[in-house]
Amino acid sequence: MNSIKLPQYIWYEPREVELPLPDSWQVRVHNIAGYNRPAMKASEIGAAITSPIGMPPLREVAKGKNEVVIIFDDMTRGTQTSEIVPFVLEELTEAGITDDRIRFIAAVANHQALDRISMVKKLGEDIVTRFPVYNHCPFLNCTYVGTTSYGTKASINSEVMHCDLKITIGSVVPHVSYGFSGGGKTIIPGVASYDTVVAHHGEIHQVWKDARSKQGLPLRGTIDGSPINADAMEIAKMVSLDMSINCIANRWGETAAIFAGALELTYQAAVKEAKSHYIAANTRDNDIVIANNFIKASEFGMALTALPAVTPQGGSIVIIANAPSGQVVHYLFGNFGKTISGSIHHSTVIAPHIDNFIIYTEYPEDTILGHFADQDRVLLTSDWKQVMQVLEKSHGAGAKVAVYPNAGIQYFAD
């Protein structure tokens, strides 16, 4: 029998899981280009933080500051924040900043709040015990900071705006709206008000998406000309962000590179690296595509990046999304009943050439089906044998199969 080994259970003792495939299938695994880059050593992480891009060392910038906020991304991202924070705190200590003047805020954007278990996974036990760690709430306590050239009226978490030293920690990975995450995205939608995010994702975003779609061009992997990315950068500048820390992840979500420093220069450097690091091959002619969503398992739809690898003549896709905590609550895009949803909810329409649309998860939730306009075309299952039975019946022996181990963070160049 063929078999594939795929990374699973990020944040829950990550490990490889072996899944059997029929021996007659022609199977090819397409990793992201930088999948096997080694994780950074502690000394390398420290060097990246203490020698920032385009700005003086943080210990110098922090001198004379009164209140510090460290903004970090949530559990839908694989950023290994706990490895980075100690070096940031060392710099703040050298600047004379005492612990009682530092707080952490989770940039949950429009996602659910983090509980203590999640905070410890992200930051470490010592940080949660030693410092106040808060969740951003998009519905309350946001301060207007200005209107962008795109017309977005920006309101940002008031605790963030109370602080005169602002640091963000996040990841740069391909993103369906922004081209690449990181940079200004940690501020908007990270710590922005709900109304601000609705406006930010509004008409300018739709026009951009429509234009790219008409040209047959992808959104992931493209920041040039992106109004939503530019809008986010404008808002981050309004906030007067002092230091932006952006991480590049390998196959396991480990930190393979860090770009830290001034907002724009750091983001540009990180994106340049990300473009070659996260690219994956699109052979376009596969009967079956297996899209493993490891780092973003709680957002199953992110694996749809692999969909173009299914042959236009008709084929099947299998999304693997094993998230023990379940799919993330999303107050902007999610369902909150059979008749109610977030302000920008839209139902996914499965393309006609897709014979079988399968979501495999050991932690199934019936609400996943609410994301689809044609729910009867979706097979949601926790039984891998059932997956194989359906695919063998449809495609028989000799099926051409493409496997994407990191579908949630990859992109195709065209």
pLDDT digits (tens, 9 = 90+) for 292-306: 999 999 999 999 999
Taking the CA atoms of 229, 308, 377 and 7 in sequence, report the sign of the dihedral they define: negative
AA identity, residue 225: G
State the pLDDT confidence band at 224, using cuts at 50, 70 and 90: confident
58 in Cβ contact with 88 (< 8 Å): yes
First to last CA, the chain: 33
Positive or negative: CA dihedral 181, 186, 187, 188: positive
Share of the chain above pLDDT 70, in %: 100
127 CB contacts (<8 Å, ≥6 apart)?
82, 85, 104, 133
Query: Hey, is 290 helix, strand or coil?
Result: strand
Within its chain, how far is the Cα of 60 from the centroid?
31
pTM of the model: 0.96
Residue 215 above 80 pLDDT?
no
Burial class of 337 by CB neighbour count within 10 A (0 to 12, 13 to 18, 19+): exposed
Instruction: Of 129-133, 201-205, 314-318, give the lowest mean pLDDT range.
Output: 201-205
Q: pLDDT tens digit string along 391-401?
A: 999 999 999 99
CB atoms within 10 A of CB 188: 30
| Spatial distance between the Cα atoms of 109 and 193, rounded to a whole number of angstroms | 8
* Cβ-count burial 217-232 (b if 16+ within 10 Å, e if not): ebbbbbbeebbbbbbb
Across the chain, mean pLDDT equals: 95
Query: In whole angstroms, what is the distance from residue 268 CA to residue 286 CA?
Result: 34
What letter does residue 55 receive in the DSSP assignment?
A: S
Which residues 6+ apart lie within 8 Å of 285 measured at CB?
Answer: 311, 400
Cβ neighbours of residue 353 under 8 Å, at least 6 residues apart? 310, 311, 312, 313, 314, 315
Q: Above 70 in pLDDT, residue 1? A: no
Q: Is there a contact between 292 and 252 (Cβ–Cβ < 8 Å)?
A: no
Residue 135 pLDDT: 98
Alpha-carbon span 145 to 164, nearest angstrom: 14
* 313-334 tens-digit pLDDT: 999 999 999 999 999 999 999 9
Instruction: Give all strands of the β-sheet with 102-107 in edge-to-edge order.
Output: 133-135, 102-107, 68-73, 165-171, 243-249, 255-261
**What is the Cα–Cα distance from 259 to 265, expressed in whole angstroms?**
9
The tens digit of pLDDT for each residue in 153-194 reads: 999 999 999 999 999 999 999 998 888 999 999 999 999 999
Amino acid identity for residue 186 in this structure = T
Structural domains for the chain: 2-31+280-409 (3.90.226.30), 42-277 (3.40.50.11440)
> What type of residue is 218?
P
